[in-house]
Amino acid sequence: MSDVGKSDGAGSGMADVPESTRQRLALALDFDDLEEARLVAAQLQPFFGVAKVGLELFCTAGPDAIAAMAGLGYRVFLDLKLFDIPNTVYRSARVLGAHGVEFLTFHSRGGQDMLRAGVEGLGEGAAGVGAETPTALAVTVLTSDGDAPPHIVPNRIRTAVEGGCGGLVMAAEDLHMANQLAPRMKKVVPGIRLRGSDAHDQSRAATPAEAAAGGADLLVIGRTVTGADDPEAAAAAVVASI
């Protein structure tokens, strides 16, 4: 397989991105319109291998959003941060697991039993359609939360390990804790900002270089690229900085 990202589609000619870098970058498609999300996803595909469908897009388009991104050739990351009683999380994760997602988020605040239920449902849903077992990601603390006491993150990491999750979502500044307490788990970092870019509601933002150097396996990139005047140039800057 070529080591260079796909260059067909909009944005071709600009990007010559190693495949290993593309697969380390998840594009946060926080839009309330599926067509707009699809256009942005197609435009930025030379830079991103993973499409993150979050609450906003899923609320407007539901499973069609997953199918649309998979149809473009993206690996799909569904970020719903499930947090409910174990039975509800189990049943919801089972439904979502059958839709072909590769990653699904749960909020670790829901506790070990809830996470276990989610992991089980997700695996069952995928197995029912002959798909590979998706990775359950536990969100530790929201990157917008700058007030969480210091013991919370290590506790939530332990909960995620006990709950059987395959990965963690965390601020870049917490990566060292995950590297210590859960070295084998996949580490996903949102709240990424290019230097000089608006932090918006993210209180624990980091640059792509900081997240990459800290050991992030997957960098979630949203408004620093999608809200830029020139999204392709911003995406190229992210790529260059890692």
Residues labelled catalytic: 81
Number of H helices, E strands in the chain: 11, 8
Applying CB under 6 A, the span of 110-118, 138-146, 147-155, 234-242 interacting with ligand C5P comes to 138-146
Chain positions 66 to 105 lying near ligand C5P, rule: CB under 6 A, are 79
Applying CB under 6 A, the span of 66-74, 118-126, 189-197, 234-242 interacting with ligand C5P comes to 189-197
Residue 126 CA to residue 133 CA, distance in Å, equals 6
In this structure, the number of other CB atoms found within 10 A of the CB of residue 59 comes to 11
Q: Which segments of the chain does DSSP mark as H helices, in order?
A: 19-22, 34-43, 55-61, 63-72, 86-97, 112-128, 152-162, 175-181, 208-214, 223-226, 231-241
Q: Which is closer to ligand C5P, CB of 41 or CB of 98?
A: 41
Contact flag: residue 182 with ligand C5P (CB under 6 A): no
**x/- string (CB under 6 A) for ligand C5P, residues 37-56?**
-----------------x--
Contact flag: residue 142 with ligand C5P (CB under 6 A): yes
Contact yes or no for 108/133 (Cβ under 8 A): no
**Contact residues: ligand C5P, CB under 6 A:** 28, 30, 54, 79, 139, 142-143, 169, 190-192, 200, 202, 220, 222-224
